[in-house]
Amino acid sequence: MAQSGFDRVRPNDNRARAGIFSSGVFALRLEARIARWHPQGDDAPGAAIPVFAEIGKPAQVPGPLIRVPGGTNVIVTVRNLVPNAVLTIHGLHSRPAVGAAFNDSIQLAPGAVQTLRFRLDRPGTYYYWGTTTGQSFDKRTREDAQLSGVIVVDEPGERSARDRIFVIGMWADSAGTEFTRYRQRELYVINGRSWPHTDRLVYEKGETVRWRVVNASADPHPMHLHGFYYRVHRRGNGMTDTALARSELVNTDRMVPGATMSLSWVPDRLGNWLFHCHIPEHIEPRGPLGYRLPSLPTQKGMTTTAHTNAVTGMGGLVTAIEIKPAEDDTTAKLPQAPAPEPTRRLRLLMQPNAGTTPATPYYGISIDSLGLSAEVERGQRIGPPLVLNRAEMTSIMVVNRTPEPTSVHWHGIELASYFDGVPGFSGIKPQIALPIAPNDSFEVRFAPPRAGTFIYHTHMNEIRQQRAGLAGALIVVDKGKWDPTKDFPVLISSPSDSVEEERAVLINGGFAPQALELRRGTGYRLRLINITTGRPGIRLELKQDSTLLTWRPVAKDGADLPVPARGVRLARQPLSIGETMDVEFFPTRVGEYVIEVRSTFGTLLGTLPIRVN
């Protein structure tokens, strides 16, 4: 479709309400039209796509923001200026949805106009969306996939909160399959832009940060916040929005297509941080309009220097956050007390596995006290568990003996920005962490503040390096409380070959993992971890024969669950990429048990045998 004559899409940060609000009535004149979208920056190539706009104003992605207090009557006039296409719009209806609103779609022929009247009573985060290709919501990836806009209903009488609204979008050349490698072009955006052109957020240390997140894309997204936990207060699906009885404390949260959430968090450490999707393909750099970059490392190539920092080494669903001292902080410029000296020193050594090649790489990781020799187990496909003590200042010397630069992110750990592991980004200017070059090293220091289950993994070229084995379980315990006979990580990861990943996953580093040996009448802690590169929707099930057993969840993402959430339940746990879940299992009968790992669609991907004596 020719681009000449079309206006340019403006990225919408959702900070300004559209329309007119007066005397309890909100009015909006909305249209769909073709405009030029430049998701990778104003100077990058653009695509002519259907988008929403206020009549007489620039087109926007996402569409104009409808934000009103509860109890508002709404009048929306909609016009379809997309040539030769019927426009179907969903979501422009009352909240709560009543009567005819459950059949919430309207259709407009080219050039048609329709006026809608509805009432917004129930507070929450909602959205409207459209299609000119007839795609259902969970399949909308084509040129019309940016026809989305947010509806926010504030509490009556409450001024709009100082929050930020993020709309996750995607655009591809086909609906694809569970594995996005079948798509030739693919882009992921936040508020209409792809990293590094997404908004850069700046907050003061100690202030309360409030976000609303809408997944307006056809893919699930496990959204991960570096260095901090966030509390999810509300969840919704576009039709409804519900306040949770207990807020959920997480650092990674899976959003299914159409999901919404409202969250808050308090930054107490300065520096640069990321909020991003944890599916590596959703944050890899892309060429113009989503083409895969031929210079990117593949299964048969090595990393180039062009992708060794956060700006050039990432793309898509990434937002940057900078935490600065509060304006009234009189101590910000005073000399800082030196950090305490480590009481424990470790070395994390990464080196090629014997017998592997660049086409099918496996990198081994060994952990030892500084100065001792270390050997990588031949054929090792995942790093060994790293066990640290809570509140103990620890030095970890990361040594890179692989042929490519790398980094290590301490997923879920609350630590100083400089040690967070995003090369070219982590830290506070002028001290910014660099990639760990081949035959170089980097010292990381932190004292983990809470006991729990976390992950260490590369944060460079994740698809290649994580599949090569640069990841492992990071377990933090109270000193003297680690008992490896009763405490077992169950780490799910990806094989090095993407074709293998379609049929199976690795469990604790193997397709046929060693059985867990348990004793009847003894309680055990199973630490469930998903660090695959392409399995955001797996579930784990504990069975004896075909009978689903029970277990008791005790922690999520390293944070203890509140007591009311720790009830015994059926042993079936969904687990997205970057999520961890700790469960307690108390076997009462001798016999053979199994943990099954299944895909979103129920396909068996792997088993971990358990023998109870």
Average pLDDT (549-554) is 98
Pairing between strand 260-265 and 230-236?
A: antiparallel
pLDDT in tens, 594-613: 999 999 999 999 999 999 99
Written as six digits, the tokens of 349 are: 């050594």
pLDDT in tens, 131-165: 999 988 888 888 899 999 999 999 876 666 689 99
Q: Quick one: pLDDT at residue 178?
A: 43
Average pLDDT (472-482) is 96
Using the predicted structure, report yes or no on whether residue 293 has a pLDDT greater than 80. Answer: no
Using the predicted structure, report yes or no on whether residue 174 has a pLDDT greater than 60. Answer: no
| Per-residue three-class SS string for 56-85 | CCCEEECEEEEEEECCEEEEEEEEECCCCC
Q: Give me the residues paired with residue 349 across strands.
A: 366, 399
Average pLDDT (320-343) is 81
- In this predicted model, which residue has the larger pLDDT, 327 or 247? 247
Which of 166, 106, 158 lies closest to 130, judged by CA?
Answer: 106
Name the pLDDT band for 183 (thresholds 50, 70, 90).
Answer: low
**Across the chain, what does the average pLDDT equal?**
91
> Environment class of residue 266 by beta-carbon count within 10 Å: exposed (0-12), middle (13-18) or buried (19+)?
middle
Written as six digits, the tokens of 344 are: 């424990």
Average pLDDT (91-112) is 83
Q: Quick one: pLDDT at residue 305?
A: 43
**Range name among 42-56, 195-209, 494-508, 545-559 with the lowest pLDDT average:** 494-508
For residue 499, how many other CB atoms are within 10 A of its CB?
A: 10
pLDDT in tens, 566-582: 999 999 999 999 999 99
Using the predicted structure, report yes or no on whether residue 299 has a pLDDT greater than 50. Answer: no
73-88 burial code (b ≥16 CB/10 A, e <16): bbebebbbbbeebebb
Using the predicted structure, report yes or no on whether residue 19 has a pLDDT greater than 90. Answer: yes
Q: How far is 586 from 132, CA to CA, in rounded Å?
A: 54
Q: Quick one: pLDDT at residue 359?
A: 72
Q: How far is 492 from 507, CA to CA, in rounded Å?
A: 5
Using the predicted structure, report yes or no on whether residue 339 has a pLDDT greater than 80. Answer: no
Using the predicted structure, report yes or no on whether residue 365 has a pLDDT greater than 80. Answer: yes
The domain covering 341-482 belongs, at the CATH homologous superfamily level, to: Cupredoxins -  blue copper proteins (2.60.40.420)
Percentage, residues of the chain above pLDDT 70: 91
**Range name among 42-51, 170-179, 273-282, 297-306 with the lowest pLDDT average:** 297-306
Pairing between strand 363-369 and 344-352?
A: antiparallel
Using the predicted structure, report yes or no on whether residue 353 has a pLDDT greater than 90. Answer: no
Q: How far is 188 from 599, CA to CA, in rounded Å?
A: 23
Looking at residue 22, its amino acid is: S
Q: Quick one: pLDDT at residue 336?
A: 65
Which of 559, 556, 547, 554 lies closest to 574, judged by CA?
Answer: 556
Q: Quick one: pLDDT at residue 161?
A: 64
Q: Quick one: pLDDT at residue 295?
A: 47
Sign of CA dihedral 210, 76, 13, 157: negative
Average pLDDT (358-381) is 80
Q: Quick one: pLDDT at residue 127?
A: 97
Pairing between strand 318-324 and 271-277?
A: antiparallel
Q: CATH 2.60.40.420: does it fit domain 180-324?
A: yes
Q: How far is 422 from 265, CA to CA, in rounded Å?
A: 21
Percentage, residues of the chain above pLDDT 90: 78
Q: How far is 354 from 261, CA to CA, in rounded Å?
A: 46
Q: Quick one: pLDDT at residue 300?
A: 40
**Architecture (CATH level 2) of domain 10-140:** Sandwich (2.60)
235-261 burial code (b ≥16 CB/10 A, e <16): bbebbebeeeeebbbbbbbbbebbbbb
Average pLDDT (217-240) is 97
Average pLDDT (114-119) is 96
Is residue 11 within 8 Å of 166, Cβ to Cβ?
A: no
- In this predicted model, which residue has the larger pLDDT, 333 or 501? 501
Q: Quick one: pLDDT at residue 312?
A: 81
Looking up tokens 């681009």 gives 3
Pairing between strand 538-544 and 591-598?
A: antiparallel
Q: Is the pTM of this model over 0.85?
A: yes
Q: What phi and psi values does residue 458 have, to the nearest 5 degrees?
A: -65, 150
Q: CATH 2.60.40.420: does it fit domain 483-613?
A: yes
Using the predicted structure, report yes or no on whether residue 442 has a pLDDT greater than 50. Answer: yes
The ranges of the chain annotated as CATH 2.60.40.420 are 10-140, 180-324, 341-482, 483-613
Using the predicted structure, report yes or no on whether residue 102 has a pLDDT greater than 60. Answer: no
Average pLDDT (301-328) is 79
Using the predicted structure, report yes or no on whether residue 540 has a pLDDT greater than 50. Answer: yes
Using the predicted structure, report yes or no on whether residue 373 has a pLDDT greater than 90. Answer: no
Q: How far is 171 from 154, CA to CA, in rounded Å?
A: 30
Name the pLDDT band for 289 (thresholds 50, 70, 90).
Answer: confident
383-402 burial code (b ≥16 CB/10 A, e <16): bbbbebbeeeebbbebbbeb
Average pLDDT (200-225) is 97
Half-sphere exposure of 55 (CA within 13 A, CB side): 13
Q: For residue 186, what is the DSSP state?
A: E
* Residues 6+ positions from 195 with CB-CB distance below 8 Å: 276, 283, 314, 315, 316, 317, 318, 319
* Residues 6+ positions from 409 with CB-CB distance below 8 Å: 226, 420, 421, 422, 456, 457, 458, 459
